[in-house]
Structure 1
Amino acid sequence: MRGTTSSWMKQLMSSSRQGYHGLALRLFFTRLSLQASIRGTVDPYPAAVPTALRACAHLADAASGRLIHALVQTRPALASDEVVSTALLDMYAKCGLVYSARKVFDEMPVRDLVVWNALLAGYARHGLPEHALALAVKMRGLGLNPDLVTWNAAVSGFAMAGDDGMASDLVCAMQEDGLQPDVVTWTSLVSGSVLNFQYGRARTLFKGMVAGGARVRPSSATISSILPAFATVGDMKHGKEIHGYAVVTGVEQELTVRSSLIDMYTKCGLVHEARHLFDNMAERSTVTWNSMIFGLANYGHCGEAVGLFDWMLREGAKPDHLTFTAVLTACSYGGMVEKGKGLYRVMQEEYGMEPRLEHYACMVHLLGRAGRLAEAHVFIKAMPVEPDRFVWGALLGACRSHGNVELAEMAASRLLTVEPGNAASYLLLSGALASAGKQTDVFKIKRLVKRRRLKRLDGCSWLETS
């Protein structure tokens, strides 16, 4: 039995080290299941528990993490083990269950700096920077000095929350504490600025790093963080300069950098450049596949996008909700109705994914563009959730394109119930009425929009191209 345990532990640890966290978790639970069937009891090998919990953290598998926690609580030796408790806290924090992480923290008899930092990082990562800062202050009060990891977590939390002032103040406080900001600090500031659409600030920070003003060199994480700033504004000159910098510094081949470059090029319409990078990648993540499929679909290469999705499945890559949004978008723009309907079923039946509102909107768009308006309306009525503005907007846009005024008026009415202050709804209805020759009604709607001083909301312009 000892030899069997040793062999099993080697497999478990090897899977974890190589990043096969799903396999590590399966090995852990398979052994427990085998024990239960042979002995009628479950007795986990103590050294395996932290490894299994780390796998849960990487996979964001809180359900499995809770099962392991319940098992730990039945074993006093495990429940009091500091390494196991730290792994539990980290698992909950990385799964977004920060209050469960805090409960584990409060029950720990001894807490070292690693434990404090794990909880603090959990608060910062999940939009609770004030809690992170309060925890850092409490550390100080207990005589435990924050280290660079502590400061970086606090800075990251406020940067992601868009509070640049507080993030900058913390950087100053860090320096007063005798610690110099490192590449993690500056990357947090850059990524926080990009996340909050403060692209000018992000570019200034990055430029300062490259020029040596920050006394640290940008890493692959920094480069991946800054690239979306150029993808959004379409500033290809500077985007290509960042690409060149990545080549010179030797990080262009890294997965996160390549994925960000592909995303930037596709969003700027340079699909061929993106595809060249994509085809020459040694490995690809789901994010990489998604970016390329979206890019091809959005620029009219719909058949190629669907082909890429099929290639993704053959490669054994696991699609997520965004993958299906991307490929359904390709089917919609390419007029591939039956293919789209089949993929919608595959998403649910083969991959066990419940449709989200964006998938419903894609299906309505797919059917509507093909002129199957009645089928699209029936689809909406069968939805198990309330349709949002994108679902009704997709139907309204299709009605305008195909001249169905009666259904357009109904869709506009529902859309205005969801979003009464958005002029796009009125304008789309106006277009449908104009197509039907009802100019008097068109003038009435335009006067109403002007009188109410309504504005089009961002993110709705795509509806007019339905």
Structure 2
Amino acid sequence: MCASAATSSWMKQLTSASRQGHYGRALHLFFAHLRLHPCDHGTVDPHPAAIPTALRSCARLGDAASGRIIHALVVTRPALASDAVIATALLDMYAKCGLVSSARRVFDEMPRTDDLVAWNALIAGYARHGLPERALALAVKMRGQGLRPDMVTWNAVVSGFALAGDDQMAGDLVSAMREDGFQPDVVTWTSLVSGSVLNFQYDRARMLFRGMVSTGTGVRPSSATIASILPAFANVADIRRGKEVHGYAVVANVEQDLTVSSALVDMYAKCGLVLEARQLFEKMVKRSTVTWNAMIFGLANSGHCQEAISLFNRMLSEGATLDHLTFTAVLTACSYGGMVELGKGLYRAMREEHGIEPRLEHYACMVHLLGRAGRLDEAYDFISAMPLEPDCFVWGALLGACRSHGNVELAELAASRLLAVEPANASSCLLFSGTLAGVGRQDDVLKVKKLVKRRRMKKLDGCSWLEAPTPGQ
């Protein structure tokens, strides 16, 4: 096969891999071709048409290291370095990988300033990574240079403020969008809904969703919208309305969309409707890591601990990708099920076999596991050996276990450490007072309660590690 035919065949494989979402394979093909086809002076000679495809794969994978290698190749070739398409792909790759300053440097070095795609890529990068003010400033600058924002521009800026929880600014921008001749589309509405959910403003999210599906907007929710709103119904009080959204997903024929079905499994599982969640889970043609994690968490938190372990083992046997949340879920199952040795083995396997470094939530799970089993000294030794500074969940898990097992001395130590981490949270003092009450030290209970009142402490949310699951029927 001649060189041009071989290159053409390779380009088809590369493009096909990218379009099918096989981004790892696309990068492998790209770098393998460079190794096989060096130029005459001994260095690799990148194919111009392949570079944007490879950079898009880097962006999808969050692989900034490979992106930098490609960038280094580009800057050594003046013809490539001046290519606007390649420059925009580089900018977009850095922005999507969270390296917004690198994206800005690429943008500032671009010879042309009238490329709306490049402006939008950088604006979206700022918005996506918590810098909505800079996104808006760039959009204003763009207009000042004679470029009119399009729908992509407006949606990026609205999304940035929605994700930041600035409802007022997001709403003002929607009004400005209308004044500029653009009507909010499904992307706009989805950004507003998802922003509210991510900021735990569930009432607002539900209100926005109802406004979207009303006849006046003319906009129909997409699978992304439905997946975004479902977490707002993930408690028993709202399950009826969650089921209504599920019905809407069925009518709209998006129930089997991976993001929607995963969100439905998560919603039913968190509401304790494990049977419904499991039925949906088994119906799914394809499952993501998110789906597996949601189902394992749902089983564990509902007291079906052995089923959760079995599902984890099935996840392993089917070759699904495990992540840090998978191990949080299975360690939770071990803790609630009293399976200490299994939990310790899985904790070791997480790092040694799967290459996942423990995070604070894993340490909290292990303390909870040991503490619930009454192995309080072992739990404290585990905390003392942690390479990370213990947070409120780690100390809270120990304090909760001390209360359950009546260990006042260790409870006092845990409460003092928890109070140092969260001085405004009364939960640590209240738990400690419960421990004291359990051993009849009522005078000390009153002292602790006076301390809470004197400091005007409040009980904060976020102590779910203290609650035992309701056993499955």
Partner letter of residue 288 of structure 2?
S
On the 8 A contact 2:268/2:276 being kept in 1, the answer is: yes
Following TM superposition, where does structure 1 have runs of at least 4 consecutive aligned residues deviating by more than 4 angstroms?
Answer: 33-40
Per the TM alignment, residue 195 of structure 1 is displaced from its structure 2 partner at its CA by: 1.9
On the 8 A contact 1:35/1:41 being kept in 2, the answer is: no
State the distance in 1 between where 2:195 and 2:317 align.
36
Task: Identify the match of residue 302 of structure 1 among 292, 301, 305.
Answer: 305
Structure 2 residue 144 is the aligned partner of structure 1 residue 141: yes
Structure 2 residue 151 is the aligned partner of structure 1 residue 166: no
Partner letter of residue 78 of structure 1?
L
State the distance in 2 between where 1:39 and 1:306 align.
57
On the 8 A contact 1:9/1:48 being kept in 2, the answer is: yes
Per the TM alignment, residue 176 of structure 1 is displaced from its structure 2 partner at its CA by: 1.8
Per the TM alignment, residue 54 of structure 1 is displaced from its structure 2 partner at its CA by: 0.7
Task: Identify the match of residue 429 of structure 2 among 422, 426, 429.
Answer: 426
Structure 2 residue 147 is the aligned partner of structure 1 residue 157: no
Residue range with higher mean Cα deviation, 406-415 or 392-401: 406-415
On the 8 A contact 2:236/2:272 being kept in 1, the answer is: no
Task: Find the residue that maps to 1:47 and give its secondary structure.
Answer: helix
Structure 2 residue 372 is the aligned partner of structure 1 residue 351: no
1:204-238 Cα deviation digits (max 9, x unpaired) = 22212222121211111111111111114731111
1:245-302 Cα deviation digits (max 9, x unpaired) = 1111111111111111111111111111011001000111111111111111111111
Per the TM alignment, residue 7 of structure 1 is displaced from its structure 2 partner at its CA by: 3.0
Residue range with higher mean Cα deviation, 203-212 or 114-123: 203-212
On the 8 A contact 2:300/2:336 being kept in 1, the answer is: yes
Task: Identify the match of residue 187 of structure 2 among 184, 189, 200.
Answer: 184
Structure 2 residue 370 is the aligned partner of structure 1 residue 367: yes
Correspondence for 1:379: 382
Correspondence for 2:9: 7
State the distance in 2 between where 1:39 and 1:438 align.
83
State the distance in 2 between where 1:40 and 1:337 align.
58
Return the TM-score normalized by structure 2: 0.94
Structure 2 residue 100 is the aligned partner of structure 1 residue 114: no
On the 8 A contact 1:171/1:181 being kept in 2, the answer is: yes
Shift of the 436–40 alpha-carbon distance from structure 1 to 2, 3 Å rule, reads farther
On the 8 A contact 2:212/2:220 being kept in 1, the answer is: yes
Per the TM alignment, residue 198 of structure 1 is displaced from its structure 2 partner at its CA by: 2.3
Structure 2 residue 105 is the aligned partner of structure 1 residue 103: yes
Correspondence for 2:54: 52
State the distance in 2 between where 1:445 and 1:154 align.
48
Give runs of aligned pairs for residues 234-253 of structure 1, distance below 5 A: 234-253=237-256
1:353-382 Cα deviation digits (max 9, x unpaired) = 211111111111111111111211111111
Correspondence for 1:65: 67
On the 8 A contact 1:428/1:464 being kept in 2, the answer is: no
State the distance in 2 between where 1:381 and 1:438 align.
28
Shift of the 37–442 alpha-carbon distance from structure 1 to 2, 3 Å rule, reads farther
Shift of the 233–118 alpha-carbon distance from structure 1 to 2, 3 Å rule, reads farther
Residue range with higher mean Cα deviation, 253-262 or 406-415: 406-415
Shift of the 160–271 alpha-carbon distance from structure 1 to 2, 3 Å rule, reads same
Per the TM alignment, residue 430 of structure 1 is displaced from its structure 2 partner at its CA by: 1.9
Partner letter of residue 252 of structure 1?
E
Per the TM alignment, residue 24 of structure 1 is displaced from its structure 2 partner at its CA by: 1.4
Correspondence for 1:199: 202
Correspondence for 2:92: 90
State the distance in 2 between where 1:346 and 1:6 align.
44
1:38-94 Cα deviation digits (max 9, x unpaired) = 985222222222111111111111222222212222222222221111111111111
Per the TM alignment, residue 120 of structure 1 is displaced from its structure 2 partner at its CA by: 0.9
Shift of the 34–442 alpha-carbon distance from structure 1 to 2, 3 Å rule, reads farther
Task: Identify the match of residue 403 of structure 2 among 400, 405, 408.
Answer: 400
State the distance in 1 between where 2:221 and 2:116 align.
27
Partner letter of residue 69 of structure 1?
H
Correspondence for 1:262: 265
Partner letter of residue 353 of structure 1?
I
Name the Cα RMSD after superposition: 2.0
State the distance in 2 between where 1:214 and 1:396 align.
52
Task: Identify the match of residue 450 of structure 1 among 413, 429, 453.
Answer: 453
State the distance in 1 between where 2:142 and 2:186 align.
24
1:405-432 Cα deviation digits (max 9, x unpaired) = 2222221221122122222111222222
On the 8 A contact 1:266/1:296 being kept in 2, the answer is: yes
State the distance in 2 between where 1:102 and 1:294 align.
40
Shift of the 465–308 alpha-carbon distance from structure 1 to 2, 3 Å rule, reads closer
Shift of the 354–34 alpha-carbon distance from structure 1 to 2, 3 Å rule, reads farther
Question: For structure 1, which runs of at least 5 residues remain unmatched after alignment?
Answer: none
Partner letter of residue 275 of structure 2?
H
State the distance in 2 between where 1:167 and 1:219 align.
20
Shift of the 33–352 alpha-carbon distance from structure 1 to 2, 3 Å rule, reads farther
State the distance in 1 between where 2:290 and 2:154 align.
30
On the 8 A contact 2:402/2:408 being kept in 1, the answer is: yes
Structure 2 residue 211 is the aligned partner of structure 1 residue 208: yes
Correspondence for 1:416: 419
Aligned length: 466
Shift of the 15–234 alpha-carbon distance from structure 1 to 2, 3 Å rule, reads farther
Per the TM alignment, residue 184 of structure 1 is displaced from its structure 2 partner at its CA by: 1.0
Task: Find the residue that maps to 2:234 and give its secondary structure.
Answer: helix
Shift of the 464–450 alpha-carbon distance from structure 1 to 2, 3 Å rule, reads farther
1:111-164 Cα deviation digits (max 9, x unpaired) = 411111111111111111111111111111111111111111111111112222
Question: For structure 2, which runs of at least 5 residues remain unmatched after alignment?
Answer: none
- Percent of matched pairs sharing the same residue: 76
On the 8 A contact 1:397/1:465 being kept in 2, the answer is: no
Shift of the 38–299 alpha-carbon distance from structure 1 to 2, 3 Å rule, reads farther
